[in-house]
């Protein structure tokens, strides 16, 4: 009998291989110009195998296998670490653990999520790294309900930082998204920028 753990690991490898080949092709040819057949051929699998793992081409971009690394890193931050620093450090740790190729392809994936309206719409619908997601992590860390007002406001600030990082990258396409997000979180440690600046100055 096949070991269920082995079977699941093989599935994960196949899924990861399909995404890796797809992201390479999206980067080199463009998303619209790359077909499912192109991806299947690059990964040396059949078209039907592709559809066993991904219902659509867009779903290849939506697969996020870095979030679990980030969440694990966050839970491993030493007790007593300030919350914002814990978030910043865990984000840095998660991406530092990736290979150079994986980091580069993750940047491609996030660029596609920003630039393909259909993908962006699904991400917003799923609330990926949105307020609810962050509030759940934060609530666990500080021992409060996810509905606590302070938890929700903090989660909103962190989610806003992500949006700010995306906008900075959109304006400067050569700028790495992850480093930018970590930088923005670091800025918040000194307070919200411009919060105390008088208007009209």
Question: What does the alpha-carbon distance between residue 40 and residue 159 come to, in Å, rounded to a whole number?
Answer: 35
Nearest 10 degrees: CA dihedral of 30, 32, 36, 38? Answer: -40
Strands (E), the chain: none
Clarify whether residues 87 and 159 are in a common domain: yes
Q: Are 23 and 105 in contact (CB under 8 A)?
A: yes
**Domain assignment present for 159:** yes
Contact (Cβ atoms closer than 8 angstroms) between residue 18 and residue 60:
yes
First to last CA, the chain: 74
Do 54 and 77 sit in the same domain of this protein?
Answer: no
Same domain for 87 and 179? yes
Within this chain, do residues 12 and 69 fall inside the same structural domain, yes or no?
no
Q: Look at residue 143 in the predicted model and tell me its pLDDT.
A: 95
Nearest to 67 by CA among 23, 7, 109: 109
H/E segment holding residue 73: helix 67-75
DSSP summary character for residue 175:
S
Q: Over the chain, what is the mean pLDDT?
A: 90
Is 40 in the same domain as 125?
no
Q: Is residue 85 located within the same domain as residue 178?
A: yes
For residue 170, give the CATH number of its domain.
Answer: 1.10.357.10
Query: Residues with Cβ < 8 Å from 19, sequence gap 6 or more?
Result: 60, 63, 105, 109
Structure tokens at 66: 């870095």
R_g of the chain, CA atoms, integer Å = 19
Q: What is the pLDDT at residue 49?
A: 96
According to DSSP H, which parts of 116-189 are helical?
117-126, 131-142, 149-171, 177-188
Distance CA 92, CA 26 (A): 25
Kindly state whether residues 14 and 54 are assigned to the same domain. Answer: yes
Q: What is the pTM of this model?
A: 0.79
Residue where a domain stops, chosen among 59, 80, 104 = 59
At 63 the pLDDT is 87
Domain count, the chain: 2
- In the listed set 15, 39, 59, which residue is the last one of a domain according to the structure? 59
| Count of CB atoms situated within 10 Å of the CB of 5 | 8
198 part of a folded domain = no
pLDDT value of position 124: 72
Instruction: Please check whether residues 99 and 182 belong to one and the same domain.
Output: yes
Tokens read off for 30? 């463009």
Cβ neighbour number for residue 74 with a 10 Å cutoff: 21
Looking at the fold, whether 158 and 182 belong to one and the same domain comes out as yes
194 assigned to some structural domain: no
The half-sphere exposure of 34 on its side-chain side, counting CA atoms within 13 A, is 22
Question: Which residues in the chain land under pLDDT 70?
Answer: 1-4, 126-129, 201
| In a shared domain, residues 10 and 26 | yes
> What CATH number should be reported for the domain holding residue 11?
1.10.10.60
Do 97 and 17 fall into the same domain? Answer: no
Q: In terms of Cα–Cα distance, which of 181, 189, 138 is closest to 160?
A: 181
User: What is the domain range of residue 34?
Assistant: 4-59
């Amino acid at each position: 009998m096949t070991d269920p753990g082995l079977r699941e690991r093989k599935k994960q490898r196949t899924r990861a291989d399909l995404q890796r080949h797809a992201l390479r092709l999206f980067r080199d040819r463009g998303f619209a110009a790359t077909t499912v057949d192109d991806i299947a051929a690059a990964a040396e699998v059949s078209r039907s195998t592709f559809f066993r793992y991904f219902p659509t081409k867009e779903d290849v971009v939506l697969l996020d296998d870095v979030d679990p690394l980030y969440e694990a890193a966050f839970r491993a931050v030493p007790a007593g670490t300030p919350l914002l620093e814990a978030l910043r450090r865990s984000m840095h740790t998660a991406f530092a653990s990736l290979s150079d190729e994986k980091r580069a392809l993750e940047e491609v994936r996030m660029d596609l999520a920003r630039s393909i309206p259909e993908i962006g719409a699904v991400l917003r619908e799923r609330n990926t790294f949105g307020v609810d997601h962050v509030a759940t992590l934060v609530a666990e860390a500080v021992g409060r309900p996810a509905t606590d007002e302070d938890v929700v406001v903090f989660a909103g600030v962190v989610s806003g930082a992500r949006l700010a990082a995306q906008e900075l990258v959109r304006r400067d396409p050569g700028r790495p998204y992850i480093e930018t997000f970590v930088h923005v979180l670091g800025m918040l440690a000194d307070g919200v920028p411009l919060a105390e600046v008088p208007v009209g100055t």
